[in-house]
Amino acid sequence: MSEITLKKVTSKKELKAFVLFPFSLYKDNKYWVPPIIKDEIANFDPKINPVFQNAEAQFFLAYKNNQIVGRVAAIINWFEVNQQQIKKMRFGWFDVIDDLEVSKILIEKVQEIGKEHHLEYIEGPIGFNNLDKTGVLIEGFDHIGTMITWYNHPYYKEHLEQLGFVKEKEYLENKFLFKNVDGVYFDRISNIIKRRFKLTGLDFTKTSAILPYVDEMFEVFDKSYSKLSSYVPISEAQIAFFKKKYISFINPEYIKFVVDKNNKIVAFAIVMPSFSEALQKAKGKLFPFGIFHLLYARKYAKDVTFYLIGVHPDYQNKGVHAIIFEQYHKTFSQKGIVNCIRTPELEDNLAIKKIWEDFNPITHKRRRTYKKDIQY
């Protein structure tokens, strides 16, 4: 039986190998969506990603017969540990061949780091914060992934459960047909809500017009999501990073705000065209041709992904989301959108369930984070 060895990533070459491992693990898998290699490497660079101002991560590769057979990122979010007093050791970017011993050696390393820092339990797979990917896929392996979720083989769940992990949080991924959205109904309700609360929907055609609102949008995001059990605040530096990385690439017509009479944001939504097939064609590289696949999808994709949606607590349960859906109905009708895909939402997030219930959504995927106490 070949020995499994573990190596901490310490060089750029090893970090690239860490990022590239899933490309071999999921080779020819028609449901896995690869990241852009350069962006993924930058995401792990403390000089580039401001998340490292409040967090730290160590990256490990498992080898067998001189071949990489697994990877994991061991993460501590220090804001979570020190300010929120949640003594959690996180792990993410967890990928393995179907060998329980490989999973065991990777998880034992995560546990060892948690012990060194006197933490109480491990949870994963999760990223640095709420803007990162989360959860191991447990249902829906025959559906294409998105650029903002991890895909994995079915045996990941079995490995974690055999290693003593138990369910911590469950996330649902739903989709619905755009034709299920009743534009006439939302137009009528939207007008009533606008008059009643003196609200206005903002549509955009230029990114430059959106940028002044982004910081305030994240304030609403913070207030909207702060009560969820998984929430960790997003720093100003991280907002600036997000603005630079994503806002300029998202179609301005897919970002919607609702403002009050003082022009203050009370609700927002960010939707992205589906880049899944374009990313598969790009094969991790923007050049020479990957960028054209992405730009084509940006303009012509008939599926969209709802990335973020938030309503200020003062305006929740008042029908404000009707204004957003009215705005999107007009935009999507012009674009010929067919499918609306939602990002993972906590199973117990009843408020978000209520927003979507009129559209006959189908749960096509489930994912889960797993928890295990650290034994001392």
> Based on the domain organization, do 154 and 233 belong to the same domain?
no
> Based on the domain organization, do 344 and 261 belong to the same domain?
yes
> Based on the domain organization, do 184 and 84 belong to the same domain?
no
DSSP states of 162-199: HTT-EEEEEEEEEEEEGGGS-HHHHHHHHHHHHHHHT-
Report how many domains make up the chain. Answer: 2
> Based on the domain organization, do 160 and 202 belong to the same domain?
no
Contact (CB, 8 A) for 177 and 356:
no
CA atoms 340, 231, 246, 286: torsion sign: negative
Domain residues for 307?
176-365
pLDDT in the model for residue 234: 85
Q: CA-to-CA distance for 76 and 57, rounded, in angstroms? A: 6
3-class secondary-structure state, position 52: helix
> Based on the domain organization, do 137 and 197 belong to the same domain?
no
> Based on the domain organization, do 117 and 233 belong to the same domain?
no
> Based on the domain organization, do 354 and 251 belong to the same domain?
yes
Structure tokens at 144: 């294409």
Contact (CB, 8 A) for 43 and 242:
no
> Based on the domain organization, do 158 and 211 belong to the same domain?
no
Q: CA-to-CA distance for 302 and 306, rounded, in angstroms? A: 13
CATH number of the domain enclosing 146: 3.40.630.30
> Based on the domain organization, do 28 and 163 belong to the same domain?
yes
> Based on the domain organization, do 146 and 185 belong to the same domain?
no
3-class secondary-structure state, position 32: coil
**For strand 136-139 and strand 345-346, is the pairing parallel, antiparallel, or unpaired?**
unpaired
pLDDT tens by residue, the chain, 376 residues: 679 999 999 999 999 999 999 999 999 999 999 999 999 999 999 999 999 999 999 999 999 999 999 999 999 999 999 999 999 999 999 999 999 999 999 999 999 999 999 999 999 999 998 889 999 999 999 999 999 999 999 999 999 999 999 999 999 999 999 999 999 999 999 999 999 999 999 999 999 999 999 999 999 998 988 877 667 888 889 888 888 888 888 999 999 999 999 999 999 999 999 999 999 999 999 999 999 999 999 999 999 999 989 999 999 989 999 999 999 999 999 999 999 999 999 998 887 888 888 899 999 999 999 999 999 8
> Based on the domain organization, do 159 and 250 belong to the same domain?
no
> Based on the domain organization, do 42 and 168 belong to the same domain?
yes
Cα 79 from chain centroid?
Answer: 20
Global pTM exceeds 0.85 = yes
